[in-house]
Structure 1
Amino acid sequence: MTFYQELQLNQAGSKALIKASKSKKEKYRHIAVYLFKILLTVAFCTAFVMAFGAVFGEDNNIVGVVMLLCVLSFRYADLGIKNKDAMWAFAVIFAILAAGPRLANACGLVAECMIHIVCIMAIMILSCHNVLMFNHATLVLGYLLLYGYDVTGEAYLYRLVAIAAGAALTMAVYYRNHRKRTFKRTFKDLFKEVDFQSSRTQWQLRLALAIATALLLAGILHLPRRMWAGIAVMSVTLPFPEEIKGRVGGRIPGNIIGGLVFILIYCFVPKSLHSYIGIFGGIGVGLSATYGWQAVFNSLGAMAIAVSFLGLPGAVFYRVFHNAFGALYGMFFEKIYSRCIKA
């Protein structure tokens, strides 16, 4: 395996390669490549997001995060349709990302819930035909992040331009990387194959309903950072119900441990280093091969942002609460939904 090929491996692949090393020299080489890959990825991600913030304003740093996720994901993932038609699908998806979160924030709770259902269901139909690609983990997550970090006025105009720029970049990367692949399915086929008797469409609808109703409940209770609950629901609402308990069992303890780690860092590490907590979390995610540990390190960056307006107790409490609520609600919703379908 070449150096470049080794850089393309995910965490589990790199760790498997390290474990299979036949000598200490080979093992140390693989470890060095693995660490270099993580540092390179974190540096690139940080520079990418900072560049978006510098051009489109700090309020739109989150757009940089979303577009970065899209670029990195769709280098490999596909939409399962012809490349020309995929460009139309992306155009609609990014239009939803531009308008849906802003419209939802501008409405009352009931109207907001309806908007979430329509937008998330549309994203699912357009991007998740092949459920194994897990494209919802990028695009629905992006929708929820843009919803949670909403802006208005001039900042929103910059956000529209930022999303357009990110869309063009994502589409260019997608077309370049998938141009030699052959697909028979077209844009219209995505809608023709929507079948509410199929497990795929049922999962897509279940995900949209579960996220929207979880956000509605959190809104009724006037809870801050509601998007965290929505992201937790999305994370555990898998197309394969038998895997849900494992996700719940990793996400809840992971965020509790992440909260404790964050408290220790925030209290005992000099304040001058607090701005690097998110980067530390990113490195930790890169080193984590299991979902539970990824949840631990993912929570650090989220709390580092929220602590500025929720305070330390509030940031930790709501991060843990929303993730526990969202994970349990997602599991509960799947059971109730399945019973209703079978009835």
Structure 2
Amino acid sequence: MKFYDALQMDPAILKRKIAACGTKQEQMYYWVAMATRSVLIVAFAIVFISLLSGVFGSDNTPMAVALFCILLGIRFVNFEYCIGDSLLALAAALAILVLAPSAAAILPPLFLIPLHFVSFFALLSLTTQRPEMGNGGLYSFAYIYLTGNPVIGEALLRRGLLALAGYLLCGTILFLKHRHQHKTVRFHHVVRRFDLSKPVCLWQLRMALGVSLVMTAGQVFGVERFMWMGFACGSLLSEYPYSGNTFVRFRQRITGAVVGSCLFFILYLAIPESLHSLLGPLGGLCLGFCTDYRYKTAMNCLGALMLGAGIYGLQGAVILRITDTLLGAAFGLAFAAIFHRLVALRFLPAPNAE
């Protein structure tokens, strides 16, 4: 296998290849590929996000982060319908990511649930026909992150221009990589196929409603860093195949958040202050080696808490991260169980309700 081809592989695939290797030399080859892949992604992220933030303003760094994630994903995963409709769908998805978070920041609480639900459900309908490919988690992250970092006025205009630049880049990649796929499938075919007896449709509905409720609760009750609640809840509900029982993922999420937060606390105190800014990239590098959900959750804490510590202080950020994660994950666990009992069991054909 060419080294370039190995760089394109997910860590889970690389680790399976390492396990199947017969010699130390072969194992080292794939370990080096995994390490190189991780370094390149982090380096590219730093350059890409820094460049866009410098041009469009630091207040639009969250949009640059979202575009970076979309850029990485769109190379490998398409929307499952023809390229013409897919390009329109990408434009619509980015428009939602620009406008809905800013609207949520100024609308009265009464309108937040409808806004979040319609926006999030539309986003999933446009981008995620096969949740197992990861698009659901990707666009869910972008929506929640941007809702937690809204802008208005002139900054919103710059965010729109940034999204346009991102569309030109991501749209070009989408066209070059996927223009020959699903040529006969139109988006209206996807809409017509919507049926709550299908697990994917139940998954979309549950994701949209659950995230809408938890984000609204966070905003209405003034929860600090409420987007961390949204991440925890959305992560539980994004698990696919669809299941009414999310307890295993709940336990893994809490474990990862506590371990990651404690690790950040120790590292922050142990290293010189001049090196604190490296904790975020360190988490990104380690993430490139992770395949277990708990470890991914723990590594994600490093970058999140690096930002949070600058706002709330070290102890405040760590407590807030764990508390918000517990609240969001607990809500997701309870919501998944209630949704399954009240909705899913009425539509999923037996005996495949689980």
TM-score (norm 1): 0.96
SS in 1 for 2:288: helix
Q: Sort the Cα spacing of 1:178 and 1:305 in 2 relative to 1 into closer, same or farther, 3 A.
A: same
Q: Deviations over 1:62-116 (max 9, x none)?
A: 1111001111101011111011111111111111111111001111223122210
Please show how residues 1-343 of structure 1 align to structure 2 within 5 Å.
Answer: 1-237=1-237, 238-239=239-240, 240-241=242-243, 244-341=246-343, 342=345
Tell me the amino acid that sits aligned with residue 306 of structure 1: G
- Separation in 2 of the partners of 1:62 and 1:326? 21
Q: Offset of 1:249 from its aligned partner?
A: 2.0
AA partner of residue 252 (structure 2): G
The structure-2 alpha-carbon separation of the partners of 1:13 and 1:196, relative to structure 1 and needing over 3 Å to count, comes to closer
What secondary structure is seen at the aligned counterpart in 2 of 1:44? Answer: helix
Contact 1:110/1:216 (<8 A) preserved: no
Q: Which runs of 5+ in 2 are unaligned?
A: 347-354
Alignment correspondent of 2:352 = none
Taking the aligned partners of 1:202 and 1:23, their CA distance within structure 2 comes to: 46
**SS in structure 2 at match of 1:205:** helix
Does the Cα contact within 8 Å between 1:281 and 1:301 map onto a contact in 2?
A: yes
Given that 1:125 and 1:194 are in contact with CA atoms closer than 8 Å, whether structure 2 keeps it comes out as: no
Per the TM alignment, residue 306 of structure 1 is displaced from its structure 2 partner at its CA by 1.1
Deviation at 1:221, TM superposition (A): 3.0
CA offsets 1:213-264 (integer angstroms, 9 cap, x no match): 1122223432111111111111110342167333212111000011101111
Partner Cα distance (1:203, 1:16) in 2 = 29
Hey, what's the Cα distance between the residues in 2 that align with 1:199 and 1:36? Answer: 38
SS state at 1:241 partner = coil
Mind listing any 5+ residue stretches in structure 1 that lack a counterpart?
A: none
| CA positional deviation for 1:298 | 0.2
> What secondary structure is seen at the aligned counterpart in 2 of 1:61?
helix
* CA-based RMSD: 1.5
1: CA distance, partners of 2:110 / 2:324? 20
Tell me which amino acid in the other structure corresponds to 1:236: L
Using the TM superposition, give the Cα deviation of residue 157 of structure 1 relative to its aligned residue in structure 2, in angstroms. 1.3
1:128-175 CA distances to partner (integer Å, 9 max, x unpaired)?
A: 122322311111211111111112222221111001111221111111
SS in 1 for 2:13: helix
**Cα-to-partner distance string for 1:3-41 (whole Å, 9 max, x where unaligned):** 111111111111222222222222222222221111111
Q: Which consecutive aligned stretches of 4+ in structure 1 deviate over 4 angstroms post-superposition?
A: none
* Amino acid paired to 1:332: A
What SS is found at the alignment partner of 2:313?
A: helix
| 1:233/1:330 contact within 8 Å kept | yes
Q: Which amino acid is the alignment partner of residue 214 of structure 2?
A: A
Per mean C-alpha deviation after superposition, the further-off stretch among 157-166 and 10-19 is: 10-19
Q: Is residue 104–residue 112 contact of structure 1 (8 Å, CA) maintained in 2?
A: yes
Identity %, equivalent residues = 29
C-alpha distance in 1, partners of 2:209/2:198? Answer: 17
Asked whether the 8 Å contact 1:232–1:323 carries over to 2, the reply is: yes
Matched length: 343
Amino acid paired to 2:307: I
